[in-house]
Amino acid sequence: MNRERNIKRFEELMEQVDRPGKDALMRYIRNSDFYTAPASTKFHLSCEGGLLQHSLNVYDALLGHAAMAYPPDEVDYEDILYTVAYKTVIRIHKETAVIVALLHDICKTNFYCTEMRNQKIYKPNGSKRDNGGRFDWEQVPFYTVNDKNPYGHGEKSVMMIEEFMKLSMEERYAIRWHMGMSEVQNINTFNQACEKYPLVLLLHMADQEASHFMEDQTDNKEEYQDKEETCCQDSDPSDTGFQEAEPIG
Ligand SMILES: [Fe+2]
Ligand SMILES: [Fe+2]
Residues 6+ away with beta carbon under 8 Å from 75: 66, 67
> What is the pLDDT, as a whole number, of residue 76?
56
Q: Which pLDDT score, from 0 to 100, does residue 185 have?
A: 74
- Residue 230, pLDDT score: 39
Q: Does any domain span residue 37?
A: yes
Domain range for 91 is 3-111+147-224
Ligand lying closest to the C-alpha of residue 203: 1
* Distances in whole angstroms, Cα of residue 37 to Cα of each of 105, 106, 181, 234, 238: 11, 10, 25, 11, 12
For residue 46, give the H/E element and its range. Answer: none
- Among 244, 73, 235, smallest CA distance to 159 is for 244
Confirm whether 239 is domain-assigned.
Answer: no
Number of domain units in the chain:
1
Q: Identify the pLDDT of residue 57.
A: 96
Q: Specify if 136 maps to a domain.
A: no
Q: What pTM was computed for the model?
A: 0.83
Distance CA 9, CA 73 (A): 22
Rounded Cα–Cα distance for residues 19 and 25 (Å): 10
- Residues (pLDDT < 70) of the chain are 67-77, 184, 227-249
- What is the H or E stretch that residue 63 is in? helix 50-69
State the distance from the centre of ligand 2 to the C-alpha of 118, rounded, in angstroms.
29
Does 243 reside within a domain? no
CA of 123 to the centre of ligand 2 (A): 37
**Is 166 domain-assigned?**
yes
Distance CA 244, CA 58 (A): 20
**Distance (Å) from CA 58 to ligand 1 centroid:** 7
Q: Is residue 129 part of a domain?
A: no
Q: What is the pLDDT of residue 134?
A: 94
Question: Residue 106 falls within a domain, yes or no?
Answer: yes
pLDDT of residue 242: 52
- CB-CB neighbours of 134 under 10 Å: 14
Which ligand has its closest atom nearest to the C-alpha of 102?
A: 1
